[in-house]
Amino acid sequence: MPISDPEPLLQVTGLSASYGNIRVLNGIDLTVGAGEIVALLGPNGAGKSTLLKAMMGLVPTTQGSVSLDGFPLTGRATWDMASLGLALIPEGRMVFRDMTVEENLAMGAFPKPHRAALGRNLERVFGLFPKLKERRRQFAGSLSGGESQMLAMGRGLMSEPRLLLIDEPSLGLAPVIVREIFDILRGLKAQGVTIVLVEQNTHMALGLADGVYLMRAGRVILAERAAAVDLDHLHDLYFAREGAAGIAE
Ligand SMILES: Nc1ncnc2c1ncn2[C@@H]1O[C@H](COP(=O)(O)OP(=O)(O)OP(=O)(O)O)[C@@H](O)[C@H]1O
Ligand SMILES: [Mg+2]
């Protein structure tokens, strides 16, 4: 089932993880080619956020491996991930409310090599998100939902990641803002950034992605090129009742 790719940038093989004795990732295989966007879909509780966290070393894994450009990430500390080329833009945005927009962005350039490039990367982020530039001295706690999401994305870009993991960027935002965020993602792809995008908005995710993975109950139950996806089949799998035919729970 894995999507074959001659030169995967990200390779996840047989990855399993548990919270206590409850297994939430069960032998996940996933590959993302350099410069591609992969959409990671699935109902609530499927394990999408856990998979991103496991890649970042935020959730300990019990089996399997993760590698970036052939370099093993499994077992590496989270604070090394920025230097290794990974950035996570977490679910719920997690901006530092009592810090200014600019201070929040500087936090994304925390690892030493990235501090040297702080000015250049700030200008790049302000170029992508002009509203953040206007509000650079404003406390993050006073931003709108859309602006907070842009700040979280900007912060993730401050370390110049090769692989960006984005967890539900459109959640709770107005359609016009969602379109703006998808345009930014399209722009990042054009700049060569590889992206794993967790999304509830299947339609928009499919419009952007090269590859699609559908997760349920800790497993990948569908892996396809986006152009080959049959939407009806995808929805059937997405919404099927637990234990329904074809779905191993
Ligand atoms: N810190 C935790 N401790 C224990 N169980 C957890 C923890 N975080 C998540 N889980 C459980 O792991 C499973 C997968 O959760 P996860 O957050 O990865 O799902 P998700 O696909 O991101 O869902 P959503 O679409 O709601 O964000 C769920 O059953 C959840 O209750
Ligand atoms: Mg989640």
Q: 21: Cβ below 6 Å to ligand 1? A: no
pLDDT at 55: 95
**pLDDT tens digit string along 13-72?**
999 999 988 999 999 999 999 999 999 999 999 999 999 999 999 999 999 999 999 999
**pLDDT tens digit string along 112-170?**
667 778 888 999 999 999 999 999 999 999 999 999 999 999 999 998 999 999 999 99
pLDDT at 93: 76
- Taking CA atoms only, the protein residue closest to ligand 1 atom 27 is 44
pLDDT at 1: 46
Is residue 175 exposed (0-12), middle (13-18) or buried (19+ Cβ within 10 Å)? exposed
Q: 47: Cβ below 6 Å to ligand 1? A: yes
Mean pLDDT of the chain: 90
d(CA 41, CA 55): 17
Q: What letter represents residue 45's amino acid?
A: G
pLDDT bin (cut points 50, 70, 90) of residue 242 is low
Nearest ligand, measured from the Cα of 45: 1
pTM score above 0.85: yes
pLDDT at 246: 46
Pocket test for ligand 1, best of 15, 18, 19 (most atoms within 8 A of CB): 19
pLDDT bin (cut points 50, 70, 90) of residue 5 is low
- Taking CA atoms only, the protein residue closest to ligand 1 atom 16 is 47
- Checking DSSP bridges between strand 71-72 and strand 219-225, what pairing results, if any? unpaired
CA angle 234, 64, 45 (to 5 degrees): 40
Q: How far is CA 170 from CA 33, 93, 117, 218, in A?
A: 24, 11, 29, 23
pLDDT at 113: 67
**pLDDT tens digit string along 58-67?**
999 999 999 9
Give the helix/strand (H/E) hosting 196: strand 194-198
Q: 57: Cβ below 6 Å to ligand 1? A: no
CA of 166 to the centre of ligand 2 (A): 10
Question: Helix or strand or coil: residue 149?
Answer: helix
CA of 44 to the centre of ligand 2 (A): 7
Helix and strand numbers, DSSP H then E, in the chain: 10, 10
* Cβ neighbours around 246 below 10 Å, total: 8
Q: Does residue 245 carry a pLDDT above 50?
A: no
